[in-house]
């Protein structure tokens, strides 16, 4: 589904990613872990199409297409979903208008007719029930005045509405209390199918108690320095990232 080969990228002249290689297949859950500043969020943002980065080298193929050539909106419509580390507050844009525009753009891309107001509300209700969300979030402007937990729940709700093929969750667990974390994790698990894939970007092992990855990659200083199964996460938790920093054994 996704293939990253020797990806190097810089921001403001500083090289952040120094040669990333990653293969993600349908049905898989990959966790990318690493200390602050290792390049995790940069990788997530580049995949979603944020233009603040300069690609120095390498290629990214998504479903046979050159991903880096696509605009953020086309990536989204093609099934890539980034759950933002810091979801943006947009006062004055009602959540419901935003979601409707988003869902209908996705439908248009697939050659489907836009949803009627009634169909849209029905879809929203179904997804809310599935995620056990209260109804309040959709009556407000996008993320405006939402707590950290509400913002993250709102991201998962958008994900449920858009049913992406490849979901990239950037630090979705940060700033969540244990109840919110459970709701978010259950949502991600409920949306998982054999046809889609998930990349979890996280600093802590905590989220992986709820969403079990098939692969764990350790990103350090712009490179994936270690890959393994879910047990790698426990090892990291036990030994800390210092183990890598000092660790020559990679």
Partner 1 sequence: MSIISEKAAGTDQMVTLFEQNKEILIQGSSPILNRMREVSIKRFAQAGIPDFKNEDYKYTNLKPAFEKSYRQELVREAGLINLNEVFKSNIPELDAHLVFLVNGWFYKGNNPGAELPKGVVLGSLDQIANEHPELLLNFLNRQAGLSVDPLVALNTALTKDGFFLFIPKGVIIEKPVQIINLLSSEVDLMATQRNLIIAEDDTQVKIVVCDHSLSPITFLYNSVSEIYIGNDAVLDMYSIQNLHNQSTVVNSLFFKQQRNSSLTTGVISLHGGLIRNNLKVTFNGDHSEANINGMSFTDKKQHVDNFTVIEHSSPNCLSNQIYKNILDDESTGAFAGRIHVARDAQQTNAFQRNNNVLLSDNARMQTKPQLIIDADDVKCSHGATVGQIDEDALFFLRARGIGENEARMMLMNAFAHEVILKITIEQLRERIDELIEKRLSGEISRFHEQLFI
C-alpha distances out from residue 27 to 30, 146, 199, 205, Å: 10, 32, 11, 21
Strands 141-142 and 90-94: antiparallel
Q: What mask, x for binding partner 1 by CB under 8 A, covers residues 150 to 189? A: --------x---x---------------------------
Q: Report the residue count for the chain.
A: 250
Place of tokens 């509300």: 121
Specify burial of residue 142 (Cβ count, 10 A radius: 0-12, 13-18, 19+). buried
- Least distance to partner 1 from the beta carbon of 137, Å? 15
Residues 6 or more apart whose Cβ sits within 8 Å of residue 111: none
Residue from 34, 39, 49, 187 touching partner 1 (CB under 8 A): that is 49
How are strands ordered across the β-sheet holding 223-228? 80-83, 166-170, 197-202, 29-33, 215-220, 223-228
Q: Is residue 210 within the footprint of partner 1 (CB under 8 A)?
A: no
Q: Is residue 105 within the footprint of partner 1 (CB under 8 A)?
A: yes
- Least distance to partner 1 from the beta carbon of 77, Å? 5
Residue from 68, 93, 190, 225 touching partner 1 (CB under 8 A): that is 93
- Least distance to partner 1 from the beta carbon of 172, Å? 15
- Least distance to partner 1 from the beta carbon of 235, Å? 33
| Smaller CB separation from partner 1, 19 or 114 | 114
Size of the site for partner 1 (CB under 8 A): 29
Tokens linked to 6 = 């020797």
Binding site for partner 1 (CB under 8 A): 48-51, 71-73, 75-77, 82, 84, 87-88, 90-93, 97-98, 101-102, 105-106, 109, 141-142, 158, 162
């Amino acid at each position: 589904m996704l293939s990253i080969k020797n990806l190097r990228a810089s921001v403001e002249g500083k090289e952040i990613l120094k040669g990333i290689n990653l293969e993600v297949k349908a049905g898989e859950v990959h966790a990318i872990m690493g200390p602050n500043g290792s390049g995790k969020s940069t990788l997530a943002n580049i995949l979603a199409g944020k233009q603040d980065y300069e690609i120095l080298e390498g290629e990214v193929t998504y479903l046979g297409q050159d991903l880096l050539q696509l605009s953020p909106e086309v990536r989204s419509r093609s099934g890539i979903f980034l759950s933002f580390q810091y979801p943006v507050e947009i006062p004055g844009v009602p959540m419901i208008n935003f979601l409707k525009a988003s869902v209908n753009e996705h439908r248009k891309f697939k050659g489907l007719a836009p949803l009627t107001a009634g169909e849209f509300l029905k879809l929203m209700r179904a997804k809310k029930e599935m995620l056990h969300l209260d109804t309040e979030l959709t009556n407000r402007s996008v993320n405006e005045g939402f707590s950290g937990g509400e913002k993250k729940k709102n991201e998962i709700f958008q994900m449920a509405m858009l049913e992406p093929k490849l979901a990239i969750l950037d630090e979705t667990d940060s700033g969540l209390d244990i109840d919110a974390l459970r709701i978010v994790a259950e949502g991600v698990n409920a949306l998982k199918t054999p046809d889609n894939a998930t990349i979890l970007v996280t600093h802590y092992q905590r989220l992986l108690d709820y969403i079990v990855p098939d692969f764990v990659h350790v990103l350090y200083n712009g490179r994936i320095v270690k890959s393994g199964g879910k047990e790698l996460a426990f090892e990291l938790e036990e030994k800390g990232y210092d183990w890598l920093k000092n660790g020559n054994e990679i």
